[in-house]
Structure 1
Amino acid sequence: MTQLSVLDLSFVSSGSTPAQALRDSLDLARHVDGLGYARYWLAEHHALPSVASPAPDIMVGQIAAATRRLRVGSGGIMLSNHAPLMVAERFKVLEALFPGRIDLGLGRAPGTDGITAQALRRREAPRGGDDFLDRLQELMLWETDGFPEGHPFNAVAVMPAGVPLPPIFLLGSSDYSANLAGRLGMGFAFAQHFSAFDAHGPMLDYRRLFRPSRWGEGPHAILAVAAICAGTDGEAERLALSTQLATLRRERGEYAPIPTLAEAEAYPYSEAERARIARGRDRLHVGSPETLRATLGALAEATRADELMVVCAIPDQGARRRSYALLAQAWSMASVRAA
């Protein structure tokens, strides 16, 4: 049976604070650590009122220290915002402190708007254009001591010495990172929760193109999905109103904390807005444990996902924790039946 994992954006809810959202992430991680989830990944976003954490490497350390069994990682580090040497150093520190429990997920996008991205990179020497491949190659060279003789970086020691980088996963929402991850022999995670690109092609292409390497002996494909689970389909649909309104506003360029259920229920939707929400429902999976066990199970089978990584944007933290608990229970029951 496909494993379940968690993708956490440290969502800020209406009426709450970013500081509380970070504490909620720690509480949720402790909660799912006891539910059998495999991984807990933190995303990198900047200057978004709805997302509290711009620094997944810091949160990875905090959550790894607060849990016992989970693998914890970045979902991901936006490599265009960081010097590859700094990424190597920070994740080697994490690996040294929590050996065998850390993942390094890497993304191409800046995770923010153009002005904020410019501010993030203001003191770096300009590289021009999409330099993700250059930065990824540099990160790989730091790990393999691969800089040629005479290169100025050849004399730089990456500390802590003797500690390997954690497993690397390339993140994507199209076929680009799927193809690259397969050819390099790295892990791959597809962002079905926001991508307009059908997940099946990239997920299957990744397996077809995978070549064993020092980064991985076999393919490992993660499918990130947005899901909301409740006791009944009707209650799950009700809880989904907050997520749907937040997505509607974001698509219009309105960035704000996740609205409460009361706000979402009181919102005067137009017919055009209702139609727009309906068109995006293929990226939001909603229902009872039985419903999601069937729909997500079929999706995992069709895409050959090794893991489903679930992001849940319910503003009520009790309902959010219950959503993850019900989904884990349903998955456990399905595993027993499959055996």
Structure 2
Amino acid sequence: MTGYLRVPLSALDVAPVWTDSSATHSLRNTIALAERVEEFGYVRFWVAEHHNVPSLATAATAVLVGAVAGATSTIRVGSGGVLLPNHPPLIVAEQFGTLEALHPGRIDLGVGRAPGSLSPLTAQLLRRAEVDSDDDFQAQIAELTSYFSTLGDEQAASAHAGAAAENRPPMVLLGSSPGSARLAGGLGLPYAYAHHINPTATVASLAAYHETFRPSTRFERPYAIIASLVFVADSDGAARELAAPFLAGQVQMRSGSPDALFPTPEQAADFPYTPAQRVWARDRLDHQVWGSPQRVRDQVTELFRTTGADELMAVTMVYDHASRIHSYELLAEAVGHVPAGIRECFISH
């Protein structure tokens, strides 16, 4: 393939926890990873929100955003994302207004509506709000927006949200379907699509986003991020080995062990796959970005040509910390592009 694309790169981390490690160790690795990807020229580093999932340590998202921002100096840091029905919008505005005040021009507020857990009990413990429709979710977004500095036709806030009245990070809508894409487009927001969750709807969702985008007060044109699993090594075989513990862990979760930690490479090599599970794992990987730098270059180029995306956000779930850092480094060398100014990655005013 000729005419390769070079694209802005970002990282999304979930602080995976392995059977021979701990959540504390994973969180410290998250900070160390952010420091390295900043060196590699990545545009932004986001952390996810999960609750009551022992294998994923990103529960206190705003706290971790602050820790990452404090350990870095230029990379944008944000939430991928804050799951808005789990939180009063006032609290989210207070948290991210404070983060923006302390790290001006470097904070992103990504918001979504997923639960962040498969447990109904967890939703009850979080006192999760009932969000039955796009209208309900839009009402939450409108309330959240109102607490930040008012612009133009936006509604006045019902309460004062501390530093949010003076500081407003850009808001990004997360999703994994054409419906969420149309919502982001209609609201005139940047959109981050979860290709790592639903790769079969990526092309349709990005098309829906571009078709429905209406310029808003802050964003003049669409901006789309694709979040994909990424495993890069010196050869295709080595990259597949990097992915093996993650894939075995995914099969465990799907097979009725949601509390299991991710296995070590040795445990993954001995994992008792059924034939159907082995096919599922192979298909799961093949819909993502993986392989040698040459193979990854081909895959990313094709993905961006078919979707019109603006940025790739890599989700790299690798057991060995040094190998995970090396994967991000190889990705940057293969397809990375450092924009002229990090603060200009979203077109806003």
TM-score (norm 2): 0.89
Matching residue of 1:139: 144
Aligned partner (choices 81, 84, 90) of residue 85 of structure 1: 90
Q: Is the 8 A contact 2:43 2:75 kept in 1?
A: yes
| Aligned-partner SS, 2:162 | coil
1:246-277 per-residue CA deviation (whole Å, 9 max, x = no partner) reads 11112223222211111111123222221222
Which residue among 67, 76, 81 is the counterpart of 2:72?
Answer: 67
Structure 1 counterpart SS, 2:69 = helix
Residues 17-166 of structure 1 aligned to structure 2 (within 5 Å): 17-112=22-117, 113-121=119-127, 127=130, 129-130=132-133, 131-143=136-148, 144=150, 146-147=154-155, 154=158, 156-160=159-163, 162-166=165-169
Deviations 1:225-260 (A, max 9, x none): 001011111111112111211111122232222111
For 1:186-335, list aligned pairs within 5 A. 186-195=189-198, 197-255=200-258, 256-332=260-336
- The runs of at least 4 aligned residues of structure 1 exceeding 6 Å deviation read none
Q: Summarize deviations over 1:100-119 as a string: whole Å, max 9, x none.
A: 11100001111112210111
Gap runs ≥5 in structure 2: 1-5, 340-349
Amino acid at match of 2:127: R
* Alignment-mate amino acid for residue 302 of structure 1: T
Shift of 1:129: 3.5
- Does the residue aligned with 1:302 lie in a helix, a strand or coil? helix
Q: Which moved more, 1:202-211 or 1:57-66?
A: 202-211
Amino acid at match of 2:71: A
Q: Which amino acid aligns with 2:8?
A: Q
TM-score (norm 1): 0.91
- The structure with higher relative contact order (CA 8 Å, sep 6+) is 2
- 89-98 vs 269-278, which moves further: 269-278
Q: CA RMSD in A?
A: 2.0
More off after superposition, 243-252 vs 112-121: 243-252
Structure 1 unaligned spans of 5+: none
**Taking every aligned residue pair, what percent have the same amino acid on both sides?**
41
In structure 2, the CA distance between the partners of 1:296 and 1:97, relative to structure 1 (3 Å rule), is: same
Give the drift of 1:36.
Answer: 0.7
Deviation per residue, 1:114-171 (Å, 9 max, x gap): 210111017xxx65645422211211232338557xxxx64x2221165232111110
Q: Deviations over 1:195-252 (max 9, x none)?
A: 1542011112211211111231211100000010111111111121112111111222
**2:215 & 2:155 partners in 1: Cα distance?**
22
| TM-aligned CA deviation for residue 285 of structure 1 | 2.2
User: Is the 1:225–1:283 Cα contact (8 Å) retained in structure 2?
Assistant: no
Name the CA shift for 1:30/1:306 in 2 (closer, same or farther; >3 Å): same
Kept after mapping to 2: 8 A contact 1:91/1:166: yes
